[in-house]
Amino acid sequence: MIIWLNGTFGAGKTTTAGELVKLVPEARIFDSEHVGYMLGHVQGLPELGDFQHWPPWRGLVVETASQLLGYLGGVLVIPQTVLVEQYWTEIRTGLEKAGIPVHHFVLHTDHDTLTHRIETDAVERQARQWRLDHLPDYRDALPWLGREAKVVDTTGIPPERVAQIVAAGAGTEITADE
What digits encode the pLDDT tens for the residues 160-176?
Answer: 999 999 999 999 878 75
Q: Is 111 exposed, middle or buried (0-12, 13-18, 19+ CB in 10 A)?
A: exposed
Chain CA centroid to CA 111, Å: 19
- Above 80 in pLDDT, residue 123? no
What digits encode the pLDDT tens for the residues 1-57?
Answer: 999 999 988 889 999 999 999 999 999 999 999 999 999 999 999 998 889 999 999
| C-alpha span between 50 and 36 (Å, rounded) | 9
Q: What pLDDT shows up at residue 174?
A: 81
State pTM to two decimals: 0.92
- Above 90 in pLDDT, residue 74? yes
Mean pLDDT value across the chain:
92
